[in-house]
Chains A and B, each alone.
Chain A
Amino acid sequence: MGRLYERLCEDLRCLEGLKSCMNCGVCTAICPSAEFYRYDPRKICDTVQRADDESIEQLLKSDTIWYCGECMSCKTRCPRGNTPGLLIMALRKLSQEMGYFTDSEKGRQQFAIRRVIGDSILTTGYCMRPILVNPANHPEQGPVWEWVYNNLPEVMDKVGANYLKDGPGALRRIAPEVLSEINQIFQVTGGQDFFQLIEEFSKDKADEMCLDAGELGGDNAYFSEVYTKNSGNHH
C-alpha cells in the first residue's frame, strides 16, 4: 500500500465511492462515457482497489480519469453500492494536487475551466451566465441564442429577469459584500489555494510548451490550445 493510495483514501468520496468492487462491469454497461470514449469505470475501480501506487500514478497522469461526465448513472445500478463517478472525483482532485493533470491532453483542460468557471464564481457569484455563452465559441447554440445574446437586456426584461440590477430576481447583480463572503469562504476552505495550484502547474506546463498563459482569462495561446485541442486518440 503506497502513498498515493493513502492520500486517495483520505478523500471521503473515495471511501463512499469504493467499498468492495467485484468487477461485474455493470457500471461500464450503463456509462455514457464508456460508449463514447475508450473508458471503462470497472477498470478504474480495479486499479484503485489493488492499491498499487505505480498503477495509480499512471492513472493520475492519463487522459482516462478525465473522460467521465459525472452523471453518476453508475451509482444507481451498482449491486454493491459503489460509485465510480465519486472515485473519479477523488482521483481528479489528487491529480491536480500532485500536478499530474498537466501530463495529459484532457487533464490540461482544467486550466480553461479554472479561468472561466473559477473566475466567474469569484467575480460575479455565478458559475454560468449568458455573457459566457459567446456564440463565437458556441456555434451549437444556434441563431436563436445569438439573437438572445445580442439583445440580452431587452429579452431578459421581457421574461421577468432582473438582469444585472440590484435586488432579487433572475440574473441580478450580486452585491460586492456578498462576493466578499464567497471569496472569504474560498480562502478559509482551501478553494483559493486549489485555484492557485491549478494556475501554477498550468503555467509551468505552458512554459514547457512555449505557450503564453497570460495572467487572466482566455485570451492567450495556452488557453486556446487546451480549450480546442483534440488529438482524436480517445476513442
Chain B
Amino acid sequence: MEQEGKKRIWSEYQKEIADDHYFYVRSCIRQTFFPGSETTFLKILRDDLSRDVFEDARHTTCTGIGYHTDIVPFETIMTIAARHFALMTEAGYVNFVPSCVTSFGIYTEILDTWKHFPEMEAKARDYLWTATRREFKIPDNLSHTSDIIYRFRNELAELSGHRLVNKNDGKPLKVVEHIGCHYAKMFPKCGVGGAEFPAVLSGMVEAWGGEVIDYPERRHCCGFGFRQYLIKANRGYSLSNSKKKFESMQPYQPDFIVANCPGCAMFLDRWQYTIAEMEGITYDKSGKGIPVLTYEELAGLIMGYDPWVMGMQMHQISVEPLLDKIGIVYNKKDKYLGSKGQYIGVPQPPHFLLQ
C-alpha cells in the first residue's frame, strides 16, 4: 500500500488523549514484572512534564485475567470496573488511565457494552450501590498509559539527552514494536492508529530517532492466551506463538523490541531464554538475545534515567548491548545491588544465552 493511502486510513483512527489530570490505575502484571516502569511513568509525568496524576490506594485488580480465563462473569467484572470509576469520580477526576493493556481492553469492552445495552449500565449501578454504596460517572477520556507517552513524545524528544541512534555508526536503531492484542484489536477506534496501523509505539520510536521494522508477523499475538500460559500443560501454545514472531523478525536484525503490554514484554523476554535453553537458538548475531523494553523504560532511557532504578536488571535478556549502542553511561557493578547498595546475590548465568 502506498504511504499516502496508509496515512489516510491512519487519520481515521486518531483518538483524543487527555492533556492533564489523570486518574492512574496500576496493572497486576506490570507491577509484578516491571514495577519500575510504573515508577518511571509517574516520574516522567509529574517531574518532567509537570502533569497531575492521582493514584488511589483503594484501587484493585480489574479481575481481567479472571475474566479472560473465564472464571469471572461479565456482571462481576463490569461492577469492579464501575467501582474504579467511582473512585475516580470521588477524587474529582474524569480522565481514566490504566497501565495494563488487558484492563484497557476490559474498560473499552464494558463502555461499549453499556453504550449498546444501557440496561447493563443500569444493572452495574445497582450492583455497585448494593455492594458498596458507591456511585460513578463514566470517564470523559479513557487512555492507556502508552497513549499518554505517545501524546508527549515530541516534548520528551525535546527534553531528552539521547536519541535512538547507534553511536558507533550514526544510523537509526532498528526497532520491533509490539502492540498488545487488547489495545485495539477489539475496538480499533480506541487505539491510536487502529488495529492494522497502530502508531502508539511507532510514533514514539520515530520521534526519538529510531527506525521501525515492518516484518510479516508484526501483528501476531505474543501467545499469552491467558489459560494457555497460566496452566503448565498449555504453555507450548504461548512459546510457539512467540517463536513464530522471533523467526519472522530475525532477518531484519532488530536492535530491540518495545511493547505496550506488560505481558507481551515479559513473554518476549522470557521465551527467548526458554528457546535458547531448549534448542540453543538466539535471534540476534551476538548470541545475547534481543533486548525487550517497556515503552516507559524506553522513554526513561532517552530521558537519562538510571536503568537499574527503572528495573531493567529484572529482564532475562541483558540490556547492556542496547545501552552501549545508544551511549548511555551506567554502572555495571550496581546492576544487581539492593536499594541501599547492599549485595543481594546475583542471578545464575543461563546455559546458552551470553551475558
**Chain A residues in the interface with B (C-beta under 8 A):** 11-13, 16, 32-33, 35-37, 66, 68-73, 75-76, 83, 89, 92-93, 96, 106, 109-110, 112-114, 116-118, 121, 125-130, 133, 137, 140-148, 150-151, 154-161, 166-172, 174-175, 178-179, 181-182, 184-191, 194-195, 198, 226-230
Using CB atoms, name the residue of chain B closest to A195: B71
Contact B79 A185 (CB under 8 A): yes
Question: Chain A residues near B10 (CB, 8 Å)?
Answer: none
Residue in contact with B347 in the complex, picked from A16, A126, A143, A174, CB distance below 8 Å: A143
Q: List 25 A-B contacts (CB under 8 A).
A: A69-B226, A73-B185, A93-B70, A110-B70, A113-B70, A121-B61, A121-B72, A127-B61, A128-B61, A133-B32, A142-B273, A147-B347, A151-B344, A159-B35, A159-B39, A160-B39, A161-B35, A161-B39, A169-B57, A179-B60, A181-B131, A182-B80, A227-B232, A228-B233, A229-B233
Question: Chain B residues near A161 (CB, 8 Å)?
Answer: 31, 35-36, 39
Contact B271 A140 (CB under 8 A): yes
Contact B270 A140 (CB under 8 A): yes
Contact B132 A184 (CB under 8 A): yes
For window 112-153 of B, CB contacts with A under 8 Å fall at 113, 116-117, 120, 127-128, 130-132
Distance to closest chain B CB from A175 (angstroms)? 7
Number of interface residues of B (CB under 8 A): 94
For window 181-214 of B, CB contacts with A under 8 Å fall at 181-182, 185-186, 188, 195-196
Residue in contact with A118 in the complex, picked from B71, B131, B310, B314, CB distance below 8 Å: B71
Distance to closest chain A CB from B123 (angstroms)? 9
For window 230-270 of B, CB contacts with A under 8 Å fall at 230-237, 239-241, 244, 270
Contact A92 B70 (CB under 8 A): yes
Distance to closest chain B CB from A72 (angstroms)? 5
- 9 tightest A-B contacts by CB? A69-B225, A159-B36, A160-B39, A191-B76, A147-B347, A127-B65, A159-B311, A154-B338, A125-B60
Contact B195 A171 (CB under 8 A): no
Question: Chain B residues near A148 (CB, 8 Å)?
Answer: 314
The verdict on B21 contacting chain A, using a C-beta distance below 8 Å, is no
Question: Chain B residues near A126 (CB, 8 Å)?
Answer: 28, 31, 60-61
Residue in contact with B181 in the complex, picked from A71, A92, A96, A175, CB distance below 8 Å: A71
Question: Chain B residues near A73 (CB, 8 Å)?
Answer: 181, 185, 219-221
Contact B339 A170 (CB under 8 A): no
Given contacts A144-B347, A159-B39, contact A36 B316 (CB under 8 A): no
